[in-house]
Amino acid sequence: MKNKVIATAFAASIAATGAQAQQTIEMTSSFSANLPILGTAGVDFKNRINSISTEVEFEHFDPGKLVPTLEALDAVSNGSVDAAYATSGYWQGKIPSASLFAAVPFGPEAGEFLGWILYDDGAALWQEMYDQAGYDVKVMPCGVIAPETSGWFKNEINSTADLEGLNMRFFGLGAEVMQRLGVSTSLLAAGDIFPALERGAIDATEFSMPLIDARLGFHKIAKFNYFPGWHQPSTLFELIVNIDVWDDLSEMAQSQIETACLANVTTNLAEGEAKNFAAMVENQEKNGVTIKQWPPEMLDQFEAAWNEVAAELASEDAHFKKTWDDLQEYRAGYKTWVQNIYMPRDR
């Protein structure tokens, strides 16, 4: 009986020690948990890491619960929040090269983007960007989606002249292009877009994929939805962790987090590819949305404006130039593969 008591006490001591050793990490997300694809990705990551790790437990918080969306980078860097699930394009106003690790106009699609990040220089340049800008964070890829739609408009757009004077919510480097074409842009978080459309503070918006945009209700006000998403041929999402929090973790816990993020990349991409065509059909048949394709001449104008923006940013910021040159070199090599291996889309 005495031995049984000792054994029970020892087991309880071990359990208590294990419980104390597990570190709780508070993670703010840039997207609400009820938002499909974008929001579910942050929740999926939380569930995935918590299911495989006995060393860390992540707690997920919607935007605004800990900090507003656009303040997450500063909050993680200064240690007031442990981690954030976000996209670096939200920091474009703070770091010139930030959107090169989020979405590049006329840039790589998801597979090509991940190749550069994971097997070329992308990941190292991404971390270098934060280090050089003075942000105390560890960054890693934690999600990716295929192209987005490129705009919801109240009126049909037939030329770039129709864009002049519009107030529009726009993301990242694409906003720089739209400004060149006479559009006044602002970066609004997801929950702020519909109210801005409703009260006329903005005339048009882009945000994400059809299923996501449908959840936010843009079709109730803006009936013309434009494709393709030239400004975001793919969008990469990041997990940033305060560097002191990261360095305090064991190598095992760090590896588990990185592994959970890579798994999240897979399911995030697959969910976006699987669920959007049904949303497009519903938008047309039930919501009265007209799906439009940008004419070739307008896409040419968007691309010409983007090339001007990229050249100027490269001339003004050394890290942007370094990253842009590296990405361009990678893409030039990738053309040999992509132009030969894939079947034509119209077969």
Q: Report the distance separating Cα 272 and Cα 307, nearest Å.
A: 28
Confidence tier at 7 by pLDDT (50, 70, 90): very low
Q: Are 185 and 164 in contact (CB under 8 A)?
A: no
HEC profile of 210-279: HHHHHHHCHHHCCCEEEECCCCCCCEEEEEEEEHHHHHHCCHHHHHHHHHHHHHHHHHHHHHHHHHHHHH
Whole-number pLDDT of residue 58? 98
The candidate with the shortest Cα–Cα distance to 293, out of 227, 248, 236, is: 227
Higher-confidence residue of 195 and 17: namely 195
Q: Flag whether pLDDT at 3 surpasses 70.
A: no
pLDDT score of 345: 72
8 A C-beta contact, residue 322 and residue 125: yes
In this prediction, residue 137 carries a pLDDT of 99
* Nearest one of 234, 213, 329, 197 to 279, comparing CA atoms: 213
Each residue's pLDDT tens digit, 105-120 = 999 999 999 999 999 9
Model confidence at 19, pLDDT cuts 50, 70, 90, reads: very low
The confidence score (pLDDT) of residue 344 equals: 80
Which of the pair, 286 or 19, is modelled with greater confidence?
286
Q: Provide the pLDDT for residue 15.
A: 43
- The per-residue pLDDT for 252 is 97
Confidence of residue 139 (pLDDT cuts 50, 70, 90): very high
- Per residue in 272-319, pLDDT tens? 999 999 999 999 999 999 999 999 999 999 999 999 999 999 999 999
Residue-wise pLDDT for 23-69, tens only, equals 999 999 999 999 999 999 999 999 999 999 999 999 999 999 999 99
pLDDT score recorded for residue 90: 96
Arithmetic mean of pLDDT, 153-175: 97
Task: Report percent pLDDT > 70 for the chain.
Answer: 94
CA 211 to chain centroid, in Å, comes to 16
Q: 346 pLDDT band (50/70/90 cuts)?
A: confident
Average pLDDT score over the chain: 94
Write out pLDDT tens, residues 159-169. 999 999 999 99
Give the per-residue pLDDT at 343: 86
